[in-house]
């Protein structure tokens, strides 16, 4: 039951290991008669190619790493699947780690991936990454890294939605409803994505007649529990906005639930709008107005970027922003100002 190696194959086929290796890689210098004999021996012995051994000599491992916070958020699930597909299509196998938005975990995952000699890493940084010794391990190994959806370093590539534009689009739509107050609920406090979305909302609301005060917004974890908690915190302060802007659709789900617990009807008593536009948004009741940030495009673009950088590590760090698109649905359409 021992492992079959190239040596065993070559011996069985009556050639040298070098020749067997050449056959393996389809070298045209080997005539068919010989390569057929080798391939037959492989099949008969049940040979399995050992990539790790090959990697020792070649300088690439044909593996990539992906670290995201939590795929129970469908937005990150979609992003993850796109990246896996791109990696697979390019012949890479993908290591995946879920940081759960914990920098300590993220650090350990980065480190083991680097030790496994990955050729590149997709990183959706945990909040607080800028403070942690994340960079240390990255530039000690000089592995190419592309930041996804959030960023903490200007020296690394970044691909994400144009959050500022997304915020502006949402603000414009909300003000066109005739709302007079809006508040942001949810999202990790110090992430670049949240800061940018706030900035977009602020510029979008400026001069629109809608009162929007970012300091009233409630930062939370990026999931339904966060949404419930965040909206509770806002309402319990006695703030009753015309429109609640959720940090993400995952958060909006929790907002819907908490509003209902308080006998408020989202879309009638208060508008709700959000970011991401996951598939679920359309299926909710009422369907949720959301700015699509196209995780498939982000993933695809990130993969292109990383593969390019692997080919040419000297490339300048790039920032690539994906244009968002507002999807208006009933969660804002049905709402009418209270009289």
- Which residues make up the interface to its own copies (CB under 8 A)? 1, 46, 48-53, 55-56, 61, 63, 70-72, 74, 77-78, 80-81, 84-85, 88, 93-98, 105, 108-109, 112-117, 140-142, 224, 253-254, 256-257, 260, 279-280, 282-285
Report the partner that residue 109 touches, choosing among DNA, its own copies, none (CB closer than 5 to 8 A by kind).
Answer: its own copies
Could you tell me the smallest distance in angstroms from the CB atom of residue 114 to its own copies?
6
Q: Which is nearer to its own copies, 56 or 239 (CB)?
A: 56
Q: What is the dihedral of CA 140, 141, 142, 148, to 10 degrees?
A: -100
Cα–Cα distance for residue pair 306/312, rounded to 1 Å: 10
Joined tokens for residue 274:
């959000």
Could you tell me the smallest distance in angstroms from the CB atom of residue 163 to DNA?
40
Could you tell me the smallest distance in angstroms from the CB atom of residue 141 to its own copies?
5
Q: Which is nearer to DNA, 54 or 81 (CB)?
A: 54
Q: Which is nearer to DNA, 29 or 311 (CB)?
A: 29
Could you tell me the smallest distance in angstroms from the CB atom of residue 26 to DNA?
11
Residues 332, 338, 339, CA angle at the centre, nearest 5°?
A: 145
HSE-up of residue 300 (Cα within 13 Å, Cβ side)? 6
Task: Answer for the pair 12, 23: CB distance below 8 angstroms, yes or no.
Answer: no
Q: Does 30 bind DNA (CB under 7 A)?
A: yes
Joined tokens for residue 194:
């949240």
Q: Which is nearer to its own copies, 168 or 228 (CB)?
A: 228
Report the partner that residue 237 touches, choosing among DNA, its own copies, none (CB closer than 5 to 8 A by kind).
Answer: none
* Burial category of 203 from C-beta neighbours within 10 Å (exposed 0-12, middle 13-18, buried 19 and up): middle
* SS3 label, residue 292: strand
Q: Which is nearer to its own copies, 106 or 169 (CB)?
A: 106
Report the partner that residue 29 touches, choosing among its own copies, DNA, none (CB closer than 5 to 8 A by kind).
Answer: DNA
Q: Does 116 bind DNA (CB under 7 A)?
A: no
Q: Does 318 bind DNA (CB under 7 A)?
A: no
Among positions 51-90, residues that touch DNA (CB under 7 A) are 53-54, 56-58
Among positions 214-273, residues that touch DNA (CB under 7 A) are none
Q: Does 18 bind DNA (CB under 7 A)?
A: yes
Owner of token pair 């308080």: 262
Where does this chain touch DNA (CB under 7 A) — which range of 7-15, 91-99, 197-205, 229-237?
Answer: 7-15
Q: Tell me which of 40, 43, 49, 315 binds DNA, using CB under 7 A.
A: 49
Cα–Cα distance for residue pair 129/131, rounded to 1 Å: 5
Give the distance from CA 74 to its chain's centroid: 10
Task: Answer for the pair 79, 278: CB distance below 8 angstroms, yes or no.
Answer: no
Joined tokens for residue 317:
């760090």
Residues contacting 249, CB < 8 A, separation 6+? 74, 75, 274, 275, 276, 277, 278, 280, 281, 288, 290
Q: Which is nearer to its own copies, 189 or 282 (CB)?
A: 282
Report the partner that residue 224 touches, choosing among DNA, its own copies, none (CB closer than 5 to 8 A by kind).
Answer: its own copies
The full DSSP string for 213-225 is -GGG-B---SSHH
Q: Does 34 bind DNA (CB under 7 A)?
A: yes
Sign of CA dihedral 237, 241, 244, 247: negative
Question: Which residues are at the interface with DNA (CB under 7 A)?
Answer: 3, 5-7, 14-19, 21-22, 24-25, 29-31, 34, 47-50, 53-54, 56-58
């Amino acid at each position: 039951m021992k492992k079959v190696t190239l040596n065993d194959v070559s011996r069985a086929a009556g050639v040298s290991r070098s020749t067997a290796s050449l056959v393996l890689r389809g070298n045209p210098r080997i005539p068919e008669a010989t390569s057929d004999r080798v391939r037959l021996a492989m099949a008969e012995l049940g040979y399995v190619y050992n990539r790790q051994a090959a990697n020792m000599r070649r300088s690439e491992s044909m593996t990539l790493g992906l670290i995201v916070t939590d795929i129970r958020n469908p937005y990150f699930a979609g992003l993850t699947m796109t990246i896996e597909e791109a990696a697979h299509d390019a012949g890479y196998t993908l290591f995946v780690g879920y940081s759960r938005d914990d920098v300590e975990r993220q650090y350990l995952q980065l480190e083991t991936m680097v030790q496994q000699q990955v050729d590149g890493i997709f990183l959706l940084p945990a909040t607080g990454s800028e403070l942690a010794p994340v960079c240390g391990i990255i530039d000690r190994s000089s592995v190419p890294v592309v930041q996804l959806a959030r960023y903490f370093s200007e020296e690394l590539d970044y691909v994400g939605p144009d959050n500022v534009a997304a915020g502006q689009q949402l603000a414009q739509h909300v003000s066109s409803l005739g709302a007079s107050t809006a508040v942001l609920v949810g999202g990790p406090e110090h992430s670049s994505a949240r800061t940018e979305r706030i900035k977009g909302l602020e510029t979008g609301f400026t001069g629109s007649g809608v009162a929007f005060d970012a300091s009233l917004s409630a930062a939370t974890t990026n999931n339904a529990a966060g949404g419930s908690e965040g909206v509770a915190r806002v309402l319990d302060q006695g703030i009753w906005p015309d429109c609640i802007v959720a940090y993400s659709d995952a958060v909006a789900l929790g907002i819907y639930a908490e509003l209902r617990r308080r006998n408020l009807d989202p879309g009638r008593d208060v508008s709700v709008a959000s970011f991401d536009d996951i598939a679920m948004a359309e299926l909710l009741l009422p369907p949720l107005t959301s700015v699509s940030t196209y995780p498939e495009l982000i993933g695809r673009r990130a993969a292109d970027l990383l593969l390019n950088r692997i080919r040419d590590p000297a490339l300048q760090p790039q920032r690539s922003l994906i244009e968002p698109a507002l999807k208006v649905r009933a969660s804002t359409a049905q709402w009418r100002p209270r009289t």
